[in-house]
A and B are shown apart, each in its own frame.
Chain A
């Protein structure tokens, strides 16, 4: 048990929550708790003196479409990503990936903001959101108590395993991404030893625009669990951009994706095996896209 927590707060306004975060000593943020509970009990996360439950902050569980963007609050649960009609219609890649997340019980509690701020290189919502050009909003109070907001591309938010650009006084308020164009093709692949409750060995999220089996546009290929953060395979994206998918291009692109992966050996797989997975699964994804 961890006995460091001296104060528990569940504020009912964003400003109150941010004021707590701005205090010296900061606070440990609680949302779904599905990762904080086991990580803190295993001693991998140390509590600050204040445990700050942000689930009573209104408006942070919103799902909306406005000005061609899908807006998702940080408190949206993973189950909502699977089931919500707006997410299914406008971000099918995210919906598909969310369906591979842990188990029903965990999806019902875990939040999008929690998954992003945990910044695991294997986090299930990270690669699809990177492939969909998502941006995140960080909010905090300045020295005079005025709310400041900044938007960052999600690609660039992660700085290492468990580390992000979020400052201790900031909260991730939400995510926005362009609604899927009607000619968008997407694919998500997650490798694990069983379908449920598995931390991915690797994950691949692909998105591109393609009309009538013609050339690919706006190609995005994001890889998870093959580097200290999830990454965009930019050289591979450039290889595919503006091209029609031929057997030769698929082979070259798959080899390129594997060369962009720099995985480590760990309990889930060796680095060599992860690169083989990236190679073979990128090839399969591109073949499927080419055939449909």
Chain B
């Protein structure tokens, strides 16, 4: 069995202390050890973006991140964005534009959109498309998702 390491990190604003095997992914830790199942397991190899989380404010694939490397860092999952004002706007925009069908890609799409809006408050269609290059949706054909992100950008940008 792989060695277990105790790590301390901030998860959605609260300190967490957990013992993780050295080769465990952050996705496995979040879902299987801590019960944060909003972050989805899609492909497990960084192709689909369903497991996107924020680490120190930057979006990453949690399936590609070693859980031990969370030590000392700020980790935010979709659950942690429930009361985030920007994420609220993004979620409302996804609903308004019908950008959700089966919903499996949605948490990753929302987290990635929040990361985009943090650095580009007024994305155009091309920057929205580029931002979600690493997120696969098999239902919508992306049009509604891109519309939702651009529209959310307007709303977020207007308030700031």
Cβ contact of A5, chosen from B2, B25, B52, B65, cutoff 8 A: B2
Q: Which residues of A contact B59 (CB under 8 A)?
A: 104-105, 108
Tell me the smallest distance from the CB of B103 to a CB of chain A, in Å: 19
- Tell me, yes or no, whether B80 is within 8 Å of chain A by CB: no
Per-position 1/0 for A101-115, Cβ under 8 A of B: 011111011000000
- Tell me, yes or no, whether A30 is within 8 Å of chain B by CB: yes
- Tell me, yes or no, whether B125 is within 8 Å of chain A by CB: no
Cβ contact of A105, chosen from B5, B22, B112, cutoff 8 A: B112
What's the Cα separation between A32 and B61 when bound, in Å? 11
What's the Cα separation between A6 and B69 when bound, in Å? 16
How many chain B residues touch A (CB < 8 A): the figure is 33
Cβ contact of A37, chosen from B5, B65, B116, cutoff 8 A: B65
Q: Which residues of A contact B61 (CB under 8 A)?
A: 34, 105-106, 109
Tell me the smallest distance from the CB of B3 to a CB of chain A, in Å: 5
Tell me the smallest distance from the CB of A196 to a CB of chain B, in Å: 3
B134, A10: Cβ atoms under 8 Å? no
Per-position 1/0 for B9-50, Cβ under 8 A of A: 000000000000011010000000000000000001111010
Q: Which residues of A contact B23 (CB under 8 A)?
A: 1-3, 5, 40, 47, 51
Q: Which residues of B contact A104 (CB under 8 A)?
A: 59, 112, 115-116, 130-131, 133-134
A108, B25: Cβ atoms under 8 Å? no
Per-position 1/0 for B64-102, Cβ under 8 A of A: 111011010000000000000000000000000000000
Q: Which residues of A contact B47 (CB under 8 A)?
A: 197
How many chain A residues touch B (CB < 8 A): the figure is 33
Per-position 1/0 for A1-22, Cβ under 8 A of B: 1111111101000000000000
Q: Which residues of B contact A47 (CB under 8 A)?
A: 23
- Tell me, yes or no, whether B152 is within 8 Å of chain A by CB: no
Q: A104-B115, A196-B134 are in contact. Are A8 and B64 (CB under 8 A)?
A: no
Cβ contact of B71, chosen from A6, A10, A36, A102, cutoff 8 A: A10
B3, A105: Cβ atoms under 8 Å? no
Q: Which residues of B contact A33 (CB under 8 A)?
A: 64-66, 69
Nearest residue, chain A, Cβ from B62: A105
Q: Which residues of B contact A30 (CB under 8 A)?
A: 66, 69
Per-position 1/0 for A43-54, Cβ under 8 A of B: 000010001010
Tell me the smallest distance from the CB of A100 to a CB of chain B, in Å: 10
Nearest residue, chain A, Cβ from B54: A108
What's the Cα separation between A36 and B1 when bound, in Å? 19
- Tell me, yes or no, whether B63 is within 8 Å of chain A by CB: yes
Q: A5-B23, A34-B61, A34-B64 are in contact. Are A106 and B45 (CB under 8 A)?
A: no
B58, A106: Cβ atoms under 8 Å? no
Interface set, chain A 47-69, CB cutoff 8 A to B: 47, 51, 53, 55
Q: Which residues of A contact B115 (CB under 8 A)?
A: 104
Cβ contact of B64, chosen from A5, A37, A55, cutoff 8 A: A37
Q: A5-B23, A55-B69, A79-B58 are in contact. Are A106 and B2 (CB under 8 A)?
A: no
Tell me the smallest distance from the CB of B56 to a CB of chain A, in Å: 10
Tell me the smallest distance from the CB of B67 to a CB of chain A, in Å: 10
By a beta-carbon cutoff of 8 Å, the part of chain B in contact with chain A is: 1-3, 5, 22-23, 25, 44-47, 49, 52, 55, 58-61, 63-66, 68-69, 71, 112, 115-116, 130-131, 133-135
Question: Can you list 25 A-B pairs with a CB-CB distance of less than 8 A?
Answer: A3-B1, A5-B3, A5-B23, A6-B2, A8-B22, A10-B68, A33-B65, A34-B46, A38-B46, A51-B68, A53-B66, A102-B46, A103-B49, A103-B133, A104-B116, A104-B133, A104-B134, A105-B46, A105-B49, A105-B60, A106-B61, A108-B59, A108-B60, A109-B65, A197-B46
A102-B46, A102-B134, A109-B55 are known; give 5 further A-B pairs, CB within 8 A. Answer: A3-B2, A7-B22, A8-B3, A37-B65, A106-B134
By a beta-carbon cutoff of 8 Å, the part of chain A in contact with chain B is: 1-8, 10, 30, 32-34, 36-38, 40-41, 47, 51, 53, 55, 79, 102-106, 108-109, 195-197
8 pairs of A and B residues whose beta carbons are closest in the complex: A103-B134, A196-B133, A8-B22, A108-B58, A5-B22, A38-B45, A34-B64, A109-B60
